[in-house]
Amino acid sequence: MITPSQSIQLRQVAEKAARLGGDPLLGVFRSGMDYGYKRDRHDIVTEHDRASEARIIAAITGAVPDSTIIGEEGGEVGTGRVRWYVDPIDGTSNFARGIANWCVSIGAAIGEELVAGVIYDPVAGNMFAADLATVTLNGTPIRVNAEAEQHRAVLLTGFPNTKHTRLFGRQALDAYDELLDAFLAIRTLGSGALNLAHVAAGWSDAAMGFRTNSWDVGAGAFILERAGGRYFGFRDGVPMTPGFLMPDYIAVGRDSAYPVLAAVMARLTGGTANDRILSKEALGS
């Protein structure tokens, strides 16, 4: 483990790297750009994703040589003690089409324990940042501020998309219908990292994701928990730790009771999640 002061240093490195990766993107945003495909035509990548990741890696490894980078575009590089989870543009489809919901996400871990994280939204000029001592938005402390009951809450999620309908079939649409009925509203930002940042800042109440990657959620999970929220990672419907390394998640404010989220998670993944996970008693423990 590391000290809070060491965590602060890693957070500062992440902030600088995020700005170096993200600020140049403003010069090409909404300028029209070509893009290619990764897994399928719903999973795009631009030359700017790769260039941003290269700038971020150079900044991190220059400041912290004892590093391993786990990046969306370049995979795992290095064998260092500090493990960095890097998404150079979270929300690439938004970025490529001129929609302003995209960000840079960088989380730092020692072993499997997150110790620092930043989510940088260049368009809005917002830097969400956390270390073992503080959690802030542009230098001002933040705290979750979620509605206690799900019928008053807003859920941020990219579910369901084509990946989910392929995985879960008609059950995905049925589950979405259930969530629509349970929550005040559901909104899709198009960036999982921003979903978590918005819950951490108290701007929304809950977030949910399926088949995510560590670079998608590492920074956001840490920022959320430092802001007083709860992040539950699931594998095959079973809550497991460390949560950010699990493929599915539910994220809520500390005292929020949203049992339908756990019920949907269990039904779609065939696991053992139940509404006790998101009961007031469990969340307040």
12 neighbors 5 (Cβ within 8 angstroms): no
Q: CA–CA separation, 147 vs 143, rounded Å?
A: 13
Give the mean pLDDT of the chain: 90
Nearest Cα to Cα of residue 103 among 112, 113, 94, 111:
94
| 87 marked as binding residue | yes
| 216 marked as binding residue | yes
pLDDT at 57 over 60: yes
More confident residue, 260 or 166: 260
Query: Cα-flanking dihedrals φ and ψ of residue 66, to 5°?
Result: -85, 60
What is the mean pLDDT of the segment spanning 91-113?
95
pLDDT in tens, 6-40: 999 999 999 999 999 999 999 999 987 666 665 55
- pLDDT at position 280, please? 46
pTM, entire model: 0.92
pLDDT in tens, 179-218: 999 999 999 999 999 999 999 999 999 999 999 999 999 9
60 neighbors 17 (Cβ within 8 angstroms): yes
More confident residue, 283 or 241: 241
Residues with Cβ within 8 Å of residue 139, at least 6 apart in sequence: none
Tokens 């699931």 sit at which residue?
A: 234
- pLDDT at position 254, please? 80
| 47 marked as binding residue | no
pLDDT in tens, 153-173: 999 999 888 788 777 888 899
| 60 marked as binding residue | no
- pLDDT at position 139, please? 98
More confident residue, 47 or 133: 133
